[in-house]
Structure 1
Amino acid sequence: MKITRTIQKILFYLSSFIPLYLLLIIQNLQITDSDGKILSFKDFINQFFHTSTSVAFFWGGVLVLLFLSLFGVALFFLVYANTDGRVGTIKDAELIREDTMGYIVTYIVPLISMDVNSARSLTINLILFIIIGTFYVKNDQLFMNPLYNICGYNVFSSEEQIYITKISKSKLKVIAKRKLSVKKVNLIGDIYVLSEYKSSKISNSDDLYS
């Protein structure tokens, strides 16, 4: 069970770097030759294989990581986000919005500067990627994922728990204050995916601050 949890954490970690993989692909993918002409299909495919060892390693690594990341995406959006979970309440505590932009600036942006033609640069960035991953997995930083924000989720932390939810902060405060029920799915540890419980939904006409 512990091994399964660790694998899930790793998949979530890899999925948090999907923006990086896409940026690296856009940055390094060759579509035209030195004369500005569109590459033939054969030349386009050859750039992934018939190149230097470091470049071939780069493309192989990016494609493998992107493929594995899709399992992390499916795990969250198709499994955890669609699981009924259990009905419960949340405490009336101060909700702090987690800064996932800081995650992008701190971890993702520096990796864009790697030189794919340099084995040294690839090695250094791979080691950095592993170090960040070790920190991410060991400290259960699964909520630090830009994809959640892109897909409309908010990440809030309270005194004891962290919530990944599409519910706005103002609604969460009302739900907590009125002790209304929500659906809670435990992602891992003290991290939960929250969604509104049908019988406790707050309409837009409600006074959210009453």
Structure 2
Amino acid sequence: MLTNTYKTFLFISSFLPLYVILIVKFYDFDKSIRYNLLANQVAFIILLLLIIISIITFLYFYSCELNHEESFYGIENKNSEILTYFVTYIVPLTTLNVNNINSILVNILLFIVIGIFYVKSNLFYLNVLFTLSGFNVYTDNDNKIIISKKSADKINNRRFVKVKKVGHKIYIINTKK
């Protein structure tokens, strides 16, 4: 089972595209790299740190060992929920103005509130990195959540599928086999 700390890291990783978008937003393409790094030093350091945390967290999740067997019936694709979640929260966060303390505080508070909800509600499967790396999110008739690279056909109605249980009724299958 995942700890709240690791769920928090998964939450941070779910916004990896946002960090890249913010770097592009803060970067002045008419100026040199040196100028940009000095002018937005704190923002770039924080964003780079968040990117590194995101990549390490996702790679750890991606390489987990399948050590459990489970059966799934009546699988339904939930990938659209990931996009809805991401788009709903990315728009306000892209309005960040690093020169305005109110903008920074509002965005930090919004990020914290979203994070608390994400961790407490076990919504760590709503991560755009799963979609970008070829994973699908499914639910079955028992409301089990399956994060898998396999197609629904390869999982549905099988007697046993090798999985890693990562939360209450949440499973990952990180191979296509």
**Which TM class, normalised by the smaller chain length?**
0.7 to 0.9
1:5, 1:12 → 2: CA distance? 11
1:191, 1:129 → 2: CA distance? 24
Equivalent in 113, 116, 122 of residue 131 of structure 1: 113
1:165, 1:101 → 2: CA distance? 17
Equivalent in 98, 101, 109 of residue 119 of structure 1: 101
Task: Please name the residue that 1:165 is paired with.
Answer: 148
> Does the 8 Å CA contact 1:183/1:196 hold for their aligned counterparts?
no
Give 3-state SS (helix, strand or coil) of 2:40's partner: helix
Gaps of 5+ in 2: none
Task: Please name the residue that 1:64 is paired with.
Answer: 49
Aligned pairs for 1:89-104 (under 5 A) are 89-98=70-79, 99-104=81-86
Task: Please name the residue that 1:76 is paired with.
Answer: 61
Residues 102-127 of structure 1: per-residue CA shift (max 9 Å, x gap)? 01111122211222211110100000
Query: Which deviates more from structure 2 when the two are superposed, residues 68-77 or residues 162-171?
Result: 68-77
User: Between the two proteins, what is the percent identity of the paired residues?
Assistant: 28
The verdict on how the C-alpha distance between 1:89 and 1:68 changes in structure 2, with shifts beyond 3 A counting, is closer
The verdict on how the C-alpha distance between 1:24 and 1:195 changes in structure 2, with shifts beyond 3 A counting, is closer
2:46, 2:29 → 1: CA distance? 20
TM-aligned CA deviation for residue 94 of structure 1:
4.4
Give 3-state SS (helix, strand or coil) of 1:156's partner: strand
Task: Please name the residue that 1:206 is paired with.
Answer: none
Residues 92-148 of structure 1: per-residue CA shift (max 9 Å, x gap)? 234242421101111122211222211110100000000000000001111000111
* Ranges of 4+ aligned residues in structure 1 off by more than 3 Å: none
TM-score by length of 2: 0.87
1:70, 1:45 → 2: CA distance? 22
1:100, 1:17 → 2: CA distance? 11
Higher relative contact order, structure no. (Cα contacts within 8 Å, ≥ 6 residues apart): 2
The verdict on how the C-alpha distance between 1:17 and 1:84 changes in structure 2, with shifts beyond 3 A counting, is same
Q: Which has the higher strand share?
A: 2
The verdict on how the C-alpha distance between 1:196 and 1:20 changes in structure 2, with shifts beyond 3 A counting, is closer
TM-score by length of 1: 0.74
Aligned pairs for 1:25-40 (under 5 A) are 25-33=23-31, 39=32
